[in-house]
Amino acid sequence: MSGTTASREGENIATIRGILLAILVLGMLGTGTELLLIKHTEDPKQWIPLLLIAASFFVLIWHAAQRRRRSLRFFQAVMIAFIVAGVVGFYFHYRGSVEFKLESKPSLKGWALFWEAMGSKAPPPLAPGVMIQLGLIGLAYAYRHPVLVASKNNESKNEGE
């Protein structure tokens, strides 16, 4: 690969990384706003996505200010926490939907109960998937990030000395 092609490819990847970051920030702002508007704050576990979104903004500000490996690793950890929170949120939303459906139709069982719960609007069982999506977008942003690659190259040079 020629130097010009490699340079152009690096510019393209940097552009894609910037787009991913913009999508992530817009997604977090939208999700955080929606959670506040629907008062997703009644129970301590309902605060988890809001706290993770706030934490991610603090880590992103730190990363923008320092551009160091440590800030990016913290960011990756928060994005993994987004994914875990999304999976746990599926469980809580599904359980809430099952309880709600059983109150109105106590005879529901098995697949009928499952499908009724999955089609429920309160709480929407698949809504926590947005946290998984945001976490994956954040991890895509950090994938082979120049800060990590530069740190790894510096470590390799130091080991060779």
Percentage of the chain with pLDDT > 70? 91
**In Å, how far from its chain's centre is CA 145?**
17
**Continuous H helices in the chain:** 3-37, 48-66, 69-104, 110-118, 129-142, 146-160
Say whether pLDDT at 61 is over 50: yes
Domains in the chain, number = 1
pLDDT on residue 154: 63
Q: Which range of residues forms the domain containing residue 134?
A: 3-160
Counted residue by residue, the chain has a size of 161
